Amino acid sequence: MRTRLTNVLFLIFGLLFAEGIAQTDVINDPFPEAQQEVIETFGAIAQSIKDGDMDKLISFHAYGPKFTEFKGGEKRIGSEGNEAYERDVFGAVTEVVKFEAEDLQIAVYGDVANVTFHSNFHLKFGEDLVIVQDQFTLLFVKTKDGWKIVHEHHSPLTPIKE
C-alpha cells in the first residue's frame, strides 16, 4: 500500500513538474526580468572599461575549463588567454572617447543569454586613437553571482559609415 501511494505521489508531482516546464517556451518567451538583468550587467561591463577597472571587468567572466573565445580569425582561446588579453588591451586604454553597442540584441533562453551587437568603440592608447568596429557575441549564463560571460566571439565588421 505504501509503495502504491509513493508511486502515485511521484506520478502526480512528476506531471505537475512537467506541466510547469511545458508552460515555458525557452525559444520564444522574452524573459523580460532576466533580459533587464543582462542589460544592467552589460552596462556595468561597459562602465568597468570606461573606469579602467580591470578587476571589475574580469569579474563578469565565468572563467574555467568551459570558457571559450574566438577573435580575429584566430584559434579558440580559453580563460587564461582571455583574461591576459583583456587586462593587456583594456588596461592600456587611456581614454574612452566613444563606446557604443549598435544593433544590440539580447536573447534570453532561461538561464542563458546571447548578446550580439556591432561595436563602435573609439579608444585612446596614449595619443593613438583606435576605432574598433567588430561584430560581437557574448554568451552569458546566470550563476548564483549574477550573469557571467562564458563565451566571447568578435570579428571585424565592414566599417560603419559615420
Per-residue pLDDT at 125: 98
In CATH, which of 1.20.120.80, 3.30.2350.10, 3.40.50.300, 3.10.450.50 is domain 27-156?
A: 3.10.450.50
* Phi, psi values for residue 146, rounded to 5°: 105, -170
What span, in angstroms and rounded, lies between the C-alpha atoms of 114 and 135? 13
Per-residue pLDDT at 24: 82
Render pLDDT for 104-119 as a digit per residue (tens, 0 to 9). 999 999 999 999 999 9
Render pLDDT for 7-61 as a digit per residue (tens, 0 to 9). 554 555 554 555 555 578 999 999 999 999 999 999 999 999 999 999 999 999 9
Integer-rounded Cα radius of gyration of the chain: 21
- The predicted model scores a pTM of 0.83
**Which residue spans within the chain are E strands per DSSP?**
68-71, 95-109, 112-125, 128-132, 134-143, 146-156
Sign of CA dihedral 56, 59, 71, 31: negative
